Structure 1
Amino acid sequence: MVESGYNQKKKGVSKGIIALIAGVIVLAGGSAAAFMYLNASPKASYFLAEKNTLEYMTDQFENRYQPELDWYEKTQQEKTASTIELSGSYNDPAAVTGYGMDPAMFINNSSITIDAQSDMQNRQLYTGLSANIGGMEVSDIEFFLDEEKVMLGLPFIEEVLQFNDEDLGPLLQDIDPNLFTGEETLNLESLFDSAQGVLPEEDLEYLEEEYMKLIYDELPEEAFTSSDETIDVNEQSISAEKIALDLSEQELKDIMKTVLDKMENDDRLKEIIKEQAAAQQFGNTMYMQNDLDTLISDFDTAIADMKTGLEDFRIPDGLKSTLWIHDDKIVQRDFSIEMGPTAEELGLFTIKGSQLLTETNQFFNYDFSFSDAYSDGTVNLAGDLNWEDDQAKDSIKIAMEDLELSYEGSETLEDGSREFDRTFTLQEPTSGGGSLLWSGNASYENDQMNSEHNFSLETPDISQDMISFNIISEGKTIDSVESLSEDNVKNIGGMSADEIQQYIENDITPSFQQWLFGILAGGGLGF
């Protein structure tokens, strides 16, 4: 557990160099396993164990949640529609005000319905929204998006509002010609690209081939040694192969310098960085081409600074990583590295723990520790996941100092239908902590799915039946995605900034006020 907090300010350590070392550690710790040479060397066995362990855990997850994964894949490959109804319940007699108003009357008689449709292959999204807010009926709110435009339908205006991707630049330049070039776009395609995964497949293959394989090849064979050892894991005696990786300070620096040299002149890598930055900033119209160019300029500067600072950076004991391997998978790990800008400002990072992975049980218990001249602490991650005969009973805990976050869950799966009870609990002394309880069911059959979810809170001051939140969802495949009518479109993007402001003030605002007054006069919200 933590002996002192992490909140003390850390001084003097080069964040760039530490980030690079962390990246090399991650790659050297497993990602490069895709480039195993099938021989019996300790180096090959080390990374093959990392690869096998990761793949085994992935396979177990996919085996358990295959119905959900199949449905997700269907939503990415086919046209699908889902209807989601959100509602809540509230039961607290003490909440009635002095005027006799009970919040439960409002909350318990309110719901929101979302009709969502998507065609990820043809890059189309549609959403329709309706709601009953305490007796006030709201409907006919519609939204459509593709790579070229955004369309919005509102119940209080006849026109369908439209904004084209190509119109953003001229509009922004009209607002501030000194700040914007006129070439800016909404970058709508990034919304669909990000939904397909963190990185496109071709980019992943490039990074694996050019960097992961590079690091694997640069690791010296003589840095790995192998021996046999019997260890205890989860109260079981295990005969394991012990493989130790011991990199000296100079060897580690040489590998990092090789990586930095390649990154410095890698135009393809810089394009990937720009594409990912643009995708992650979807909706932030201020993140334009100038910002992307500045990002790459800062990247080049950071690489140069790291190369300059690497020579004086201290890693006195190098990098030490030991794996214990049984049945071609990792059963125990001991990793440590101490580093800092000077000999007086060293920080020690360690990972120690064990795991035992079988088809019916996945056990793990790891300590992640950090210490330097200003602070020290340990985070413990432990779990016991059980899956047998399509039934699950799981427990996971994350603990540091007097703070503990835990998960307890049970599940059953039968003919594509899952029932579950899941509890997330926070224990901490200041507020007394509390629990989020999540129960429900989900079924998947051919081209349809439906699910019900109930969320409730339990704290020292809130009972489980006081507050709850419900989600009911139904999904199916469809022939086509609904769109908005183009018979009466108001092209906002083709207007100047002043014209947009006048349109809002003279048309939209009065129509909205009249529409809202009509709802309230009709008895909504109890008026």
Structure 2
Amino acid sequence: MSQNQTGAKKKGMNKWLITAIVFIIVAGFGATAYGVLKENNPMAMYLLAEKNTMEDQWERLEKYNVGSLELQDRMLEEAYQSKQTLSMNLNVEGEQVNQQFPQLMFIQGLLSTAKIEMNTKMNPETKEAYNSIDLLLQGSSMANVHAYQNEDNFSIQAPFAYDKYFTLANDQLGAFFKKMGEPSGGLTEIPNIANYNQASFTSDEMKEITTDYMKTLGEQLKEEQFSLQKGVAYEDKQYDKVTVQISEQEARDMIRTLLIKLREDNRIWSVLNTQMQLQGGQQSMDEDKMKEGIDEAIEGLDQIKLPEGIQVEAYIKDDLVAHEIWTLPIEDTNGEQVDIKVSSEYLKQSKENYLSKATVDVNPAAEEQSFQFSYKENGKSTKDGLHVDYTFDVKFKDKTDDFHGNLALGTDYKENSSKTEFDLTVEGSDPSLQQFPKITGFFNTATKEESQDKLKRNIDLGFDIAMNNPMMGNTKGHVEFHIKQDYSFKDNMEFPEINNQNSVNVMELSDAEMQQISLEIQQNLQKYIGSFTGGFGGF
């Protein structure tokens, strides 16, 4: 391998390791109280406060999202059917827009009468999945598609184009591409949709995995790394201050232990493998190559220098971490230092009134460059729920360029519903950002449980977009999406029966039969398009 190749590999590896240090240690270290609690010492005080802080926020999240979390968990484990209806409204205003697109009014009227109906059936036990989609205009079906899959075969039908299902064995996708004279792009089989639907973790499984990793990390901590100062003033209040000093080698050992555990964790790889299988030809993301990346990261740990180690300052009050600051100066193989600071706050005024903040600052010491990501959450109790203001903020600046993006959301939570309004602004030195539209909107959800095995959920999403474009002038647009969902959980669902009378196996068709079917499809589509355009005056 050449020196340039080696240097490029190390440079990429350094970025990987910096990410690992920041997001594995910072996100994970604070929760290690699950496995190493001890009493009457700084280590125990800090870990208990971190545990309490995380659990306090998690309990609030669960309280106002319990319906969604339970639905997601049941869909991973049980057979279910869902019926969904999507409708939308579109309104665009602007003199130049109307001049350049004279058919816009017609399109807007057409969309207001359109609906998409979707029907899904999923049985994880029998590995069967069924999906249908139907486009309706003014209540009449214009086009529909049905798809069914079991452990062996995949079948799809578009009745407006051809009256029978086309069937292909799941493991013959590559052979089908070859038969058609088309490149497969690495796609050799059709992954089972029911398996993919289960390729995730329930909330309990996520807690179990998190707890497991926190215990592993906690085993790396030592009491001598912790020190305590009582009655320390910080922002006009008194706190117990715990300082944690982790040496350079201790930090490397922590990362190494976690990466080794990740490499051997079959729970995670099982889910990732199923998800990657559905993505087909992305060979660069297979398990072996991802594990090779982890091995390279482990081998390259000694290349990363933390000249001052990692320092944590935590200000504790009422068994909660109110303020916390992580300092991680990192030096790469070229001797260039990047100062990373992660700070957080959690100020709780009452059970429901709180302020939570988190900020990540990344500053290369040798360059006039800075990056900051911040998150703020301000919650206040209401008469029948909770109101939370969220803010996501990203800033970047160097010698010649700057960028600032801000997303502000305000959400009213009730027991079975939420209403959110949001505002997105983007600005910066890049000329293209001067024309970035102002975007505001809403996102509302409501869930009603009709019985133990049936529930309804409505989702409404809307955007208001305003922009001043040299080509289009002042333009305003409003678009809304409305989704109605019905879920039912039952074991005795009926799936389509695919047989020789209602389907054709594409691998068994001769060239002549393929040509005949192609001709029929072409004729049917011409009739369909003719009836469609004729009904709208030749639009």
Q: TM-score, normalised by structure 1?
A: 0.80
Alignment match, 1:192: 197
Q: C-alpha displacement at 1:104, in angstroms?
A: 2.4
For the residue of structure 2 that corresponds to 1:65, the secondary structure is: helix
> Which residue pairs with 1:389 in the alignment?
383
Q: Distance in 2 between matches of 1:126 and 1:365?
A: 44
One-letter code aligned to 1:339: I
- Of residues 359, 362, 366 in structure 2, which corresponds to 1:370? 362
Question: Would you say 1:348 and 2:339 are equivalent positions?
Answer: yes
Distance 1:241-1:127 versus aligned 2 partners, 3 A rule = same
Instruction: Decide which of 210, 229, 233 is 2:231's aligned counterpart.
Output: 229
**2:400 match:** none
In the TM superposition, 1:124-203 aligns within 5 A as: 124-132=128-136, 137-155=141-159, 156-168=161-173, 186=191, 188=193, 190-197=195-202, 201=205
Aligned Cα root-mean-square deviation (Å): 4.0
Q: Deviations over 1:260-295 (max 9, x none)?
A: 6x55xx9743x5564344223243322469954444
Q: Deviations over 1:80-119 (max 9, x none)?
A: 3222222223253744458963332333333222223334
Q: Deviations over 1:34-79 (max 9, x none)?
A: 2133433322332222222222111101112233334444544452
- Between the aligned partners of 2:252 and 2:50, the Cα distance in structure 1 is 23
**Number of the residue aligned with 1:471:** 482
3-state DSSP class of the match of 1:45?
Answer: helix
What is the 5 A alignment of 1:449-464? 449-461=456-468
Distance 1:366 1:143, change over 3 A: same
- Displacement, 1:153? 1.9
Residues 465, 502 of structure 1: CA spacing in aligned structure 2 closer, same or farther, 3 A cutoff?
Answer: farther
The aligned counterpart of 1:484 is: 496
Tell whether the 8 Å contact from 2:324 to 2:343 is kept in structure 1 after alignment: yes
- SS of 1:158's partner is coil
Cα distance between partner residues in 2 of 1:46 and 1:214: 17
Report the alpha carbon displacement of residue 144 of structure 1 after superposing the two structures with TM. Answer: 2.5
Q: Is the 8 A contact 2:146 2:158 kept in 1?
A: yes
**CA distance in structure 1 between the aligned counterparts of 2:284 and 2:445, rounded to whole angstroms:** 46
The equivalent position to 2:313 in structure 1, one of 313, 322, 331, is 322
Segments of structure 2 that go 5 or more residues without pairing to the other structure are 1-9, 396-402, 429-433
CA offsets, 1:201-228, max 9 Å, x none? 4x9857854x543332222210011222
The offset of 1:255, in angstroms, is 3.8
Pairing 1:399–2:393 present: yes
The range that moved more, 486-495 or 364-373, is 486-495
Cα drift, residue 337 of structure 1: 0.6
TM value normalised by structure 2: 0.78
Aligned partners of 2:482, 2:225: CA distance in 1, in Å? 54
Decide whether the 8 Å contact of 2:186 with 2:280 is kept in 1.
no
Moved more, 400-409 or 318-327: 400-409
* Amino acid of the structure 2 residue aligned with 1:112: I
- With a CA cutoff of 8 Å and minimum separation of 6, indicate the structure with the bigger relative contact order: 1
Shift of 1:197: 4.4
Deviation readout 1:400-453 (Å, 9 max, x if unpaired): 345242323242637x4x362422322425235412311545241332314251
1:50 is paired with a residue whose SS is helix
- 2:517 is matched with which residue? 507
1:338 alignment partner, one of 326, 329, 346? 329
In the alignment, structure 1 residue 109 sits paired with structure 2 residue 110: no
**3-state SS in 2 of match to 1:218:** coil
Match of 2:224, SS state, is: helix
Residues 524, 36 of structure 1: alpha-carbon distance in 2 compared, 3 angstrom cutoff: farther
Change (3 A) 1:403 1:359: same
Which residue of the partner structure matches residue 3 of structure 1? Answer: none
Please state whether the residue corresponding to 2:421 is helix, strand or coil: strand
Aligned to 1:252: 251
Counterpart of 2:44? 44
1:294 and 1:501 map into 2 onto residues whose CA distance is 40
Partners of 1:118 and 1:125 within 8 A in 2: yes
Q: Which residue of 2 aligns with 1:63?
A: 63
Residues of 1 paired with 2:169 and 2:462: CA distance?
A: 39
Amino acid aligned to 1:518: Y
In structure 1, stretches of 5+ residues that fail to align are: 1-9
Paired letter, 1:317: E
Moved more, 474-483 or 242-251: 474-483
Residue 526 of structure 1 aligns to which amino acid in structure 2? G
Distance 1:524 1:444, change over 3 A: same
Where 2:336 maps in the other structure, the secondary structure is coil
Pairwise CA distance, 1:398: 2.4
